[in-house]
């Protein structure tokens, strides 16, 4: 059997400054945050044959929290528009349901009839004032639906304008810096 000469001696590489450097092709070893070899951690498991603790489990250190520093440098205006539109639609539906429940509650309690009686008893009744007919259920829900639709459109446009403005400003200052932690 022949030995390969290339595997037995280190290779030479040329660095940026033109100097010849020797690089040995030893495998890279993964290191944890604390700087210890991952391979040495595996050697100390209680199931390995070369256990130095006499069969006892090694003491485990508490894992260290990782922290990453990230920057939000650009926000996609289309994704902002989609998310804002859906959130605004949900808000509009909540408004419509809330107004419907409030109207039903006020009608059950009799607020509309009491206001009509108060207005007629003061003498301001000029031709059969009836608050329940002015603020009927259909009229109130139609008005709230129109306001909700207008609100959805305005909120979506406003969010897209803010996203575009954020992109311009973040190009100048570098964006918002966020530090994420693994707790």
- DSSP structure string for 34-52: TS-BHHHHHHTSTTSTT-S
Q: What is the per-residue pLDDT across 119-144, written as a single tens digit (0 to 9) for each? A: 778 777 666 777 777 888 999 999 99
Nearest by Cα to 65 from 97, 40, 33, 20:
33
Say what the pLDDT of residue 67 is. 85
Question: CA 15 from chain center: how many Å?
Answer: 44
What is residue 65's three-state secondary structure?
A: coil
Whole-number Å distance between alpha carbons of 71 and 81: 21
121: which 2 tokens? 């008893």
Query: How far is 41 from 33, CA to CA, in rounded Å?
Result: 13
Domain ranges of the chain: 1-64, 71-181
Residues of the chain with pLDDT under 50: 1-10, 23, 38, 41, 44
Distance CA 144, CA 100 (A): 9
* Alpha helix (H) residue ranges in the chain: 5-8, 38-43, 77-109, 111-122, 131-134, 137-173
What's the Cα-to-Cα distance from 25 to each of 6, 8, 37, 52, 173, rounded to whole Å?
11, 10, 18, 31, 43
| pTM of the entire predicted model | 0.58
């Amino acid at each position: 059997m022949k030995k390969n000469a290339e595997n037995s001696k280190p290779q030479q590489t040329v660095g940026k400054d033109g100097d010849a450097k020797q690089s040995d092709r030893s495998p890279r070893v993964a290191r944890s945050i604390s700087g210890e070899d991952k391979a040495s951690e595996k050697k100390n498991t209680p199931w390995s044959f070369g256990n130095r603790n006499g069969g006892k489990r090694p003491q485990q250190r508490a894992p260290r929290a990782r922290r990453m520093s990230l920057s939000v440098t650009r926000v996609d205006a289309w994704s902002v528009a989609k998310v804002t539109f859906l959130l605004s639609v949900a808000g509009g539906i909540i408004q419509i349901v809330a107004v419907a429940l409030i109207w039903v509650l006020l009608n059950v309690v009799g607020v509309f009839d009491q206001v009509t009686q108060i207005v007629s008893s003061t003498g301001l009744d000029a031709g059969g004032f009836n608050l329940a007919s002015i603020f009927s259920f259909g009229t109130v829900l139609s008005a709230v639906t129109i306001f909700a639709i207008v609100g959805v459109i305005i909120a979506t446009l406003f969010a897209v304008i803010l996203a575009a403005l954020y992109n311009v400003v973040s190009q100048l200052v570098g964006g918002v810096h966020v530090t994420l932690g693994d707790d």
